[in-house]
Amino acid sequence: MNVMKRIEVKLRSFYLIIPLLLVLLCHEARSQKTTEVFIPIGKSPGVSGKTTKMGKVESVKTQDYSVTMTLDDQTKATIKVEKSTAIYLDKSILKQPNTQGKWEDIKPGLVMEAKYTDIKKSGACEWIKVQMK
């Protein structure tokens, strides 16, 4: 009986810890989305270089809302921009605070980082950061 009581107590604490951990992990992910605008280009923890592509904007096609950029390895990538894609302006080089941007802010010659919604780095982007000069 004593052993059963101990097992029951351990199970009860286990059932309390799991939901707490889930809440904390979800809060951390939501917090990063909220503060993403303030993180400089290429510096997003756990994201930059993993689910992002970074390069120089070559062309902007307004007709289909796509951006072609040259990556560091000199290959080209076409990025699809959706209405839901957040655009952030990285003004850290200008010693100004970063801000929300809009489609018209993406111009050839600027450095850009695009975060995909999936790990395969295909399809639409969740957000785009453009480094302002």
Structural domains in the chain (count): 2
Q: Do 119 and 86 share a domain, yes or no?
A: yes
Which CATH number goes with the domain that contains 54? 2.40.50.320
- Considering the entire predicted model, what is its pTM? 0.72
What is the domain range of residue 18?
2-36
Q: What is the mean pLDDT of residues 21-36?
A: 56
pLDDT tens per residue, range 114-127? 998 776 777 778 99
User: Is the four-CA dihedral 26, 27, 30, 31 of positive or negative sign?
Assistant: negative
CA distances from 122 to 53, 63, 81, 119 (A): 10, 20, 12, 8
Q: Do 81 and 127 share a domain, yes or no?
A: yes
Q: Do 26 and 76 share a domain, yes or no?
A: no
pLDDT tens per residue, range 49-71? 888 999 999 999 999 999 999 99
HSE (side-chain half, CA atoms, 13 Å) at 21: 6
Q: Do 28 and 49 share a domain, yes or no?
A: no
Q: Do 9 and 45 share a domain, yes or no?
A: no
